[in-house]
Amino acid sequence: MFYEVLVTDYVRVEPNKFGMDTDAAVRTQLEESYSGFQDKDIGTVVTVLNVKDVKEGIIIPGDGAAYYESTFKLVIFKPELQELVYGQIEEITNFGAFISMGPIRGMIHISQTMDDFVSFSDTGVLSGKDGKKNLVQGDKCIARIVAISYKGEEPKIGLTMRQPGLGKLDWVKAEKDKTEAEAKQTIAIEAKKVKK
């Protein structure tokens, strides 16, 4: 889920930015420092939204940089268990698929891609045996987060598409159209029964 957070922190502005306007130097330093920053409690920083307040700077002896107490807004992405996410298939492997969810990516094990026996082809396609569904790089999908691990440098996100309303967008639309057609057919049958 995306959040907007207000942060107050001391920003260390490096000497190569001293010729810039103070607010611009602080913003540039924040963008460099927080770009892609990840933390288990906070999430992944997507961008610096704006800088609200920059107080007078201080210099610490032995450090050539200036420190400015600043208040700024960040946009962060923090995955939540059971959250539905929209993404695009970034890579297909023999054990599953990786989905780009914007700032981070998640992994769908081959057994969680569809309700079918799934095989991997040398051309980079995951194919269902009975349903004749295919999953390839570039497909847009809806998945559910079922596991989150913060071991290592970036979070590991486990996803599933084996639930109603999930999967490749074409599959979801086809299932919706089928359900609507069945509902219309049932209504027509019931209407005929009432007329008799």
- The domain covering 2-77 belongs, at the CATH homologous superfamily level, to RNA polymerase Rpb7-like, N-terminal domain (3.30.1490.120)
Q: What's the pLDDT tens digit per position in 37-55? A: 888 888 889 999 999 999 9
Mean pLDDT of 99-107: 91
The helix (run of H) or strand (run of E) holding residue 150 is none
Q: Give the pLDDT of residue 26.
A: 93
Q: What's the pLDDT tens digit per position in 124-158? A: 888 888 877 889 999 999 999 999 998 877 889 99
Q: Give the pLDDT of residue 13.
A: 93
* Joined tokens for residue 93: 């492997």
107 contacts 97 by C-beta, under 8 angstroms = yes
Whether the predicted pLDDT of 91 surpasses 90? yes
Distances (CA, A) of 114 to 98, 111, 143: 14, 7, 11
133 contacts 171 by C-beta, under 8 angstroms = yes
Q: Which fold has domain 84-182?
A: OB fold (Dihydrolipoamide Acetyltransferase, E2P) (2.40.50)
Domains 2-77 and 84-182 share a fold: no
End-to-end CA distance of the chain: 53
**pTM (2 d.p.):** 0.75
Domain boundary assignment for the chain = 2-77, 84-182
* Joined tokens for residue 125: 């396609």
